[in-house]
Amino acid sequence: MAGLTITLKLPFYRLNQVKALEFERLTAVNTQVANDLLNVDKRERHKLTSAAFKHIEIGSMWINQTIRNTNTKTKAKHFKRMWLEVNNQGYEVLRSGDLYALSFSLYRGRKGRIPLEVHSASHTEVLDKLIAGGAKLGTLKICRSKKGIWYALVSVSMDVPDAKAAEQWIGVDRGQNNIAVAALPRGFGKFWKSGRVKGLRRQFQRTRRQLQEAKQLKEVKRLEQSERRIMTHINHVISKELVQFASDFEMGLRFEDLSGIRQTSKQRQKTKSDAGNNRDSWAFYQLEVFTRYKAIRAGISVQSVPAPYTSKSDHRNGVLGKRNGDWFKGFDGYRCNADWNASQNIGQWLGFSCPLSLQSAVAAMAMADAGGAVNGSPLSSEASQRVDLSPA
């Protein structure tokens, strides 16, 4: 069994204005406690408990968690907002008719817990498992969105079945022409186009430039946060569809390892100045992280393979070809979509290298990984002796 920890974002159901204002007021009190702690010497701060804040109306378990959170922020000088948070001893999850409820008490000296109903959204299965004892509660954090909606962030730890051993792999190529391309072995590919994302990034860039010229720095920051939330949502949607795609065909997912791509893949200054083409602003790693934790939950295997030559090799035989924009051209004139070709190479990666003489069809994708290979494939020095390296 594999362990998985996720955070459920549950909006409070029909929260009246009185309770919302009380959440706001207690959050301000909690923030003041955190800022007062910053004025205490660090060595003394670690010794403090809720007993030092008996004059504060917030419950002791909430104050103790605030002290812990403040101590972990070693470089903080001032907190703009410290959300109310408590460990799993301070609340419980209940079933309330067709809805679910969180039962907790915010005030010091009051033992009775008040249940507040929350929307289950798409987390019904996990919440039922919590109530049945099949999952373990973590912390609860009460926070408010930019739109004024109050949420309960509930951390949940649970055991999930180990991923099934994959016999075949779906290669996932990430890029700027297409956010992601997932291709079945020797089969069709699923494309997630990037035109909308490029347009949004350029639109945000133009608006930020205008706001900076007008010295509206707060609006610039607000716009950056809005852009980040939109891109995060897009990555969540794509990762969910990737996992569903792999689940439908009962295959594993393979990503190319893009570690250090900013240092190894240089860009022209003109390219970097365009938000739609600047690779530094694209959340490639976030897409992989989102896909991995969703795949663990679904029992799907995920691997990373070296990135060199995945875009430049012919998926049929491994011989180096030429990539021109959206198209890849093999040495014999064969043409196909470049991103689909790369995803095929990622999916059927075997870890072989290419000799200097390209007379024979030898894969070139791991030539940069001269120290060894993965999945039991031979070292580069051994692989270069082989001629027929077509995958089984």
Residue 56's domain comprises 2-160
| pLDDT higher than 60, residue 380 | no
Q: What is the pLDDT of residue 350?
A: 66
The pLDDT tens digits for 334-365 are 999 999 999 999 998 765 444 444 444 444 54
| pLDDT higher than 60, residue 147 | yes
Q: Is residue 301 domain-shared with residue 336, that is, in the same domain?
A: no
Q: What is the pLDDT of residue 269?
A: 79
Could you count the other beta carbons within 10 Å of the beta carbon of residue 166?
Answer: 17
pLDDT-derived band at 103, boundaries 50, 70, 90: very high
Q: For all residues of the chain together, what is the average pLDDT?
A: 84
**Quick one: DSSP state of residue 164?**
P
For residue 137, being part of any structural domain is answered with yes
**The model's pTM:** 0.76
The pLDDT tens digits for 33-81 are 999 999 999 889 889 999 999 999 999 999 999 999 999 998 999 999 9
85 token code pair: 């948070």
For residue 296, being part of any structural domain is answered with yes
Cα separation, 258 vs 174, whole angstroms: 9
Q: What is the pLDDT of residue 99?
A: 87
Q: What is the pLDDT of residue 351?
A: 56
Average pLDDT over residues 264-276: 76
For residue 268, being part of any structural domain is answered with yes
User: Which range has the worst mean pLDDT, 158-167, 183-192, 353-362?
Assistant: 353-362
For residue 313, being part of any structural domain is answered with no
- Number of structural domains (the chain) is 3
Q: Is residue 187 domain-shared with residue 290, that is, in the same domain?
A: yes
Identify the domain boundary among 271, 306, 341.
Answer: 306
Cα separation, 17 vs 258, whole angstroms: 48
Cα separation, 288 vs 173, whole angstroms: 11
Cα separation, 177 vs 67, whole angstroms: 47
Amino acid at 155: S
Identify the domain boundary among 133, 160, 187.
Answer: 160
Q: Is residue 240 domain-shared with residue 151, that is, in the same domain?
A: no
Q: Is residue 147 domain-shared with residue 228, that is, in the same domain?
A: no
User: Which range has the worst mean pLDDT, 52-56, 162-166, 263-267, 320-324?
Assistant: 263-267
Could you count the other beta carbons within 10 Å of the beta carbon of residue 180?
Answer: 26
Q: Is residue 142 domain-shared with residue 43, that is, in the same domain?
A: yes
Q: Is residue 101 domain-shared with residue 176, that is, in the same domain?
A: no
For residue 389, being part of any structural domain is answered with no
Q: Is residue 258 domain-shared with residue 369, that is, in the same domain?
A: no
For residue 229, being part of any structural domain is answered with yes
Cα separation, 76 vs 54, whole angstroms: 24
Q: Is residue 54 domain-shared with residue 121, that is, in the same domain?
A: yes
H/E/C letters for each residue in the chain? Answer: CEEEEEEEEEEECCCCHHHHHHHHHHHHHHHHHHHHHHCCCHHHHCCCCHHHHCCCCECHHHHHHHHHHHHHCCCCCCCCCCCEEECHHHEEEEEECCEEEEEECCECCCCCCEEEEECCCCCHHHHHHHHHCCCEEEEEEEEECCCCCEEEEEEEEEEECCCCCCCCEEEEEECCCEEEEEECCCCCEEEEECHHHHHHHHHHHHHHHHHHHCCCHHHHHHHHHHHHHHHHHHHHHHHHHHHHHHHHHCCEEEEEECCCHHHHCCCCHHHHCCCCCCHHHCCHHHHHHHHHHHHHHHCCCEEEEECCCCCCECCCCCCECEEECCEEECCCCCEEEHHHHHHHHHHCCCCCCCCCCCCCCCCCCCCCCCCCCCCCCCCHHHHCCCCCCCCC
User: Which range has the worst mean pLDDT, 194-198, 230-234, 281-285, 293-297?
Assistant: 281-285
Q: What is the pLDDT of residue 362?
A: 47
The pLDDT tens digits for 209-230 are 999 999 999 999 999 999 999 9
**Which is it for strands 252-257 and 302-306: parallel, antiparallel or unpaired?**
parallel
Amino acid at 189: G
For residue 312, being part of any structural domain is answered with no
Q: Is residue 283 domain-shared with residue 232, that is, in the same domain?
A: yes
- Type and span of the H or E element at 62: helix 60-72
For residue 391, being part of any structural domain is answered with no
Q: Is residue 199 domain-shared with residue 300, that is, in the same domain?
A: yes
